Chain A
Amino acid sequence: MNVRSQSSGDFLSQALGIPLVRKEDPALLSGRGRYADDLPVASGTLHAHVIRSPHAHAKILKIDAAAALALPGVAAVITGEDVRQLTDPFLIALKAPVHQWSLAVEQVRYVGEAVALVVAESRYVAEDAAELVQVDYDPMEAVTDPLAACDKSAPLLHPACKTNEISVRKFAYGDTAAAFAAADRVIALTVDYPRLSFTPMECYVVVAEYRPHDGSYDVLANFQGPFSTHPVMAKALRVPGTRLRLRIPPDSGGSFGIKLSVSPYVVLAAIAAKITGRPVKWVEDRAEHLAAASSGPNRITRIEAAATLDGRILGLRLDQLEDYGAFLRAPMPGPLYRMQGSVTGAYDIPNVEVTNRIVLTNKMPASLIRGFGGPQLYLAIERLVQRIAVELGLDHLDVIRRNLIPAEKFPYRTAAGALYDSGDYARAVATAIGDGRLDDLKRRRDTARAAGKLYGIGFAAVVEPGMSNMGYLSTLLTADARERAGPKNGAVSMATVNIDPLGGVSVSADVTVQGQGHQTVLSQIVADRLGLDPADIKVTLELDTAKDAWSIAAGTYSCRFSPGTAVAAHIAATRIRGRLAGIAANQLNVLPDDIEFADGQVRSRSNPDNALPFGRVAGTAHWSPVMLPDGMAPGLSETGVWSPPELEPPTSDDRINTSLTYGFIFDMCGVEVDPVTFSVRVDRYVSMHDAGTLLNPLIADGQVHGAFAQGIAAALYEEFVYDENGNFLSGSFADYLVPTVSEIPPLEILHQETPSPLTPLGAKGMAEGNCMSTPACIANAVADALGVKDVSLPLTPLRLHALMAGKP
């Protein structure tokens, strides 16, 4: 790979689109990262430890903290009663009496639920004290199976709701009944997507301080956004947003959606600081993280297709039952609705009916997770497409190709309202299978099968949305209810470029750092506009709600960086460039149109010797604002704001353009199932991506590799297991199996670049794709290898053993 070093000093005339190595790395490689737990805290800071429920469902009868409070060094033991007095329940997206506070109030609803907070001089002492707190419970019957929870006889999690199935919405796009009437065959399948998380290596960290003079809270947390959660936290604390200053540290040890759910602990630490009058720090440990931090929702999808004999899909019906665990936390049920517009995936299917159901069970609350609804949806669709091929005696790949949206139909409006911006799916598939790749897979399969081995080939074709429409969640409400609540839509991105008197360029933006290399890419974008070296651009991404430009869409999630914040930075840099060009034109006596930015100079294009150093021009703006060209605003700071008009609110018939960009992924793989050890070996895996224009191919490939490993994890290893009584069985890294390098097969990555016409840089979101495609692709390959219909993930030895029962 051709990688240019940005520290080498060689000038890069074209800073964008090249595999530039990351400016983040030297500090992180030297132990000089600044993660939340690394930052200094005020002297006198106390340390908190959470006492958690051992029961899946129980009434809290009594909490006796006397012995704990008597232990030297213990400042407070905070319980649900304190929380109820000092805070309000978190707002949720649904009108339903599901009240959650930051500690359990009166009853617990899942193993691991926070019951009390011990605050002491050190974490060690806080844990000692926790063992002295006596909590009396009255256990109740629990329900963990989502279907059982829908049953009338099931124990109710929130009795005021009168049901655990707290939302059922039906959607009809096109004439699905006619499609099914016209079909040669109806092919149906039920698919079960498991519970898992992508467990960032750094757990949650919160440091909270209370400022009594104005009743405000100053909180540092490794929160990832979306900042639509900020008002939820402020409301819970009963303060206006300005009195909850939330600061995000400069580095974060991964997130993958999970660090949204630090938000209840922001509120908890904040009131602990208020109660104790001292700053309070809480660092989640791994056991707490596994039991209680966050999980992706598990989903049962009943899906059926109206198909012609040659495999054309005329219509689809989906019934999706999504299990959010014990509470519905904002912005849930995101995963169920984020894919609503693209519910037909990569296929040209004009008729579809969707039923979305939300059920609550005695499990940890589910929330954001990388892939965000995509993995659940595509497991159903892609398994169905494979079944269509099997049941109709067709080739799987032919059925995929027959139904893909043709290139000439772009921009393409899906049945459910998404506007697919660009794509050439057929070409991507042709490239992926070309160069003998598919032939090689078939050869491997045939050789293996001839030797009596269990070998299968899998495919998956998925559409990857980027940058969510903030209005998509309102599809959860009926059109009438939406009308009453006021329209919700759009997604605002912001980035600020500053130039100092010496010409130093600094950038800040509305994203939170998690490891995606945003500093590097932002420096490339701004350097590209200003004719500078990316190494000269200082990017600072420690979001501070009191000082930075942010909107409810801020944060790093749903692949919003490339189609969103990157564009805002481009806009800001372009505006500043225009201003500098005006100043330089004056001084160089040329027209602004003749100005170019290159080699650290601002110069005349027609006569490059007529030039000024970049810093000189910047200095003029600072030192001589009076002498600026007529009509030019002074100051060298620009905030670019990007709000694409395509992100419209849901229509009255519930059509919704859920995202701005839509990339495409086509995966294929060969797997061998070992009948001796009941394990799956991925023999070869090819992943083709079209994410529009790539801003930095090195970083893009890194995202693909990372998402692929998580896709493999979901397909083969990771699962949160509860028994039928709600006991949690995956409470350590010895039980919850994160794949090591030994479990991750080699991956071949291919790219095609079909620029998005809707973003100035042509880039689409691209970091979640293989979390969506890989589980489906592996499931299809195993189904092919074993000749079975029902494949549940993850494909553990236990599940393979059951699937292979009766086989030699």
Chain B
Amino acid sequence: MRRVNKDERTRISFTLNGRAVSGEAESRMLLTDFLRHVIGATGTHVGCEHGVCGCCTVLIDGVAARSCLTLAVQAEGRAVTTVEGLAAPDGALNALQQAFQRHHALQCGFCTPGILMSFTDYLARNPHPTEDEIRDVLSGHLCRCTGYAGIVAAVRAVSAGNSKQPS
């Protein structure tokens, strides 16, 4: 049984974008704060800290989740993927990122990392979603800048591109 007492700081380790990371935190520290301020991976954003906006979405063992509703200690031993893990090591954007640029799917870009992570999970499960399915997944995110039109267009373009490749 893993136990962290309230007054104790504990070492928390997991893999982040394929690399082992580790840091010290209290039991109550949110995964958002741990990623951003302990590890220094600031690509994951915080928009509400009560699970509504989706800015903080990351993958935990490949599954999209709100990191503001996750304790850092809950990520122990897991594989966490964040927006920093999407592009190739040389910085080349992946197909989803490129589509976001091409379709002007971002303005301030604050909501964008979370949205990219949701669709990274979803498109892996369903490479050719319908527009309704895209909208359903996107409805778990708030974006104040774009009115969502470009985001839907970008994901549609990726799914159309997916259909050309053998799956």
What is the interface of chain A, defined by CB distance below 8 A to chain B? 3, 5, 21-22, 24-26, 28-33, 35, 37-38, 124, 198-203, 251-256, 285-287, 514-517, 698-699, 701-702, 705-710, 732-734, 738, 740-742, 744, 746-747
Q: Contacts A286-B47, A734-B52 known; A30 to B104 CB distance under 8 Å? A: no
Of the candidates B43, B48, B104, B111, the one whose C-beta lies within 8 Å of that of A32 is B43
Name the residue of chain A whose CB is nearest to the CB of B150: A702
A sample of 24 cross-chain residue pairs with beta-carbon separation below 8 angstroms, ordered by A number, consists of A22-B104, A24-B109, A26-B97, A28-B109, A29-B101, A32-B43, A35-B45, A124-B28, A198-B144, A199-B144, A201-B47, A203-B47, A253-B110, A254-B107, A256-B144, A286-B49, A702-B104, A705-B147, A705-B150, A706-B146, A733-B52, A738-B53, A741-B148, A744-B148
Distance in angstroms between the alpha carbons of A740 and B149 in the assembled complex: 11
Contacts of B108 in A (CB 8 A): 200-202, 251-255, 514-515
Closest-CB distance, A517 to chain B (whole angstroms):
7
Which of A30, A38, A252 is the most central at the interface, judged by chain B CB atoms within 10 Å of its CB? A30
CA distance A758 to B49 in the complex (A): 47
Minimum CB–CB distance for A208 against chain B, Å = 18
Complex alpha-carbon distance, A287 and B101, angstroms: 32
Give 1 or 0 for each of B65-107: 1 = CB within 8 Å of chain A CB: 0000000000000000011101100010100010011101011
CB-CB under 8 A from A702, the residues of chain B are 104, 107, 145-146, 150
Question: In the complex the two chains form, is A201's CB within 8 Å of B45's CB?
Answer: yes
Interface contact B104-A202, CB-CB below 8 Å? no
A30-B84, A37-B42, A740-B140 known, 4 other contacts, Cβ within 8 Å: A29-B100, A199-B144, A706-B107, A744-B149
- Expressed in whole angstroms, the minimum distance between the Cβ of A153 and any Cβ of chain B is 40
Of B36, B43, B91, B142, the contact of A201 (CB 8 Å cutoff): B142
Q: Is A25 touching B135 in the complex (CB atoms < 8 A)?
A: no
When the two chains form their complex, are residues A37 and B36 in contact, meaning their CB atoms are under 8 A apart? yes
Rounded to whole Å, the gap between the CB of B65 and the closest CB of chain A is 17
Shortest Cβ distance from B136 into A: residue: A742
Residues of the B chain whose Cβ atoms lie less than 8 Å from the Cβ of A201: 45, 47, 53, 55, 108, 110-111, 142-144
B135, A742: Cβ atoms closer than 8 Å: yes
Distance to closest chain A CB from B42 (angstroms)? 4
Which of B42, B93, B146 makes the CB contact (< 8 A) with A26? B93
With the chains together, A706 CA to B106 CA distance in Å?
10
Of chain A, the residue at the smallest CB distance from B113 is A31
Looking across the interface, which residue of chain A has its beta carbon closest to that of B98? A29
Q: Say which residue of B29, B46, B84, B106 sits within 8 Å of A31 (CB atoms).
A: B84
CA of A201 to CA of B110, assembled, Å:
7
Question: For the complex, what is the distance from the CA of A734 to the CA of B43, rounded to whole Å?
Answer: 25
Report the Cα distance A278→B150, complex, angstroms.
Answer: 44
Instruction: For B55, list chain A residues within 8 Å (CB).
Output: 201
Chain B residue nearest to A712 in the complex (CB): B147
A33 to B113, CA, bound (A): 10
Verify if B10 is at the interface (C-beta below 8 Å from A). Answer: no
Name the distance in Å between A74's Cβ and chain B's nearest Cβ: 16
Contacts of A252 in B (CB 8 A): 108
Q: How far is the CB of A728 from chain B (nearest CB, A)?
A: 16
B33 nearest CB across to chain A (Å): 8
What is the minimal beta-carbon distance from A400 to any residue of chain B, in angstroms?
25
Chain B residue nearest to A705 (CB atoms) is: B147
> Which residues of chain A come closer than 8 Å to B83, judged between CB atoms?
29-31
Closest 9 CB pairs of A and B: A31-B43, A515-B108, A253-B110, A28-B109, A709-B147, A515-B107, A705-B147, A733-B52, A31-B83
Q: Are B144 and A738 within 8 A (Cβ)?
A: yes
Decide if A202 touches B146 in the complex (CB within 8 Å): no
Asked if residues A705 and B97 are in contact (CB atoms below 8 Å), the reply is: no
Q: What is the bound-complex CA distance between A285 and B149, given in angstroms?
A: 28
- Mark out the residues of chain B between 113 and 167 whose CB falls within 8 Å of any chain A CB in the assembled complex: 113, 116, 135-136, 138-152
User: Does B63 count as interface, using CB distance less than 8 angstroms?
Assistant: no
Complex Cα spacing A734 to B52, Å: 7
A516: chain B residues at CB < 8 Å are 107
Given the complex of chains A and B, what is the CA–CA distance between A200 and B146 in angstroms? 12
B12 within 8 A of A: no
Q: Find out whether the CB atom of A31 lies under 8 angstroms from the CB atom of B41.
A: yes
Nearest Cβ on chain A to B161's Cβ, whole angstroms: 15
Most buried by A among B107, B110, B138, B152: B107
- Let me know if B26 is at the binding interface, CB within 8 A: yes
Q: Contacts of A32 on B, CB cut-off 8 Å?
A: 43, 84
Complexed CA–CA distance, A286 and B152 (Å) = 26
Contact A254 to B110, CB < 8 A, known contacts A25-B101, A26-B101, A33-B43: yes
Residues of B within 8 A of A699 (CB): 104
Question: Residue of A at shortest CB range from B100?
Answer: A29
Chain A residues whose CB sits within 8 angstroms of the CB of B113 once the complex forms = 31
Q: Could you tell me if B86 and A747 are in contact, using CB atoms closer than 8 angstroms?
A: no
- Closest B residue to A742 by CB, please name it: B139
Please give, as numbers and ranges, the residues of chain A lying within 8 Å of B49 by CB-CB distance.
285-286
Identity of the chain B residue whose Cβ is nearest the Cβ of A749 in the assembled complex: B149
B110 engages A733 (CB within 8 Å):
no
A29–B109 touching, CB < 8 Å: yes
A21 surroundings in chain B (CB, below 8 A): 101-102, 104
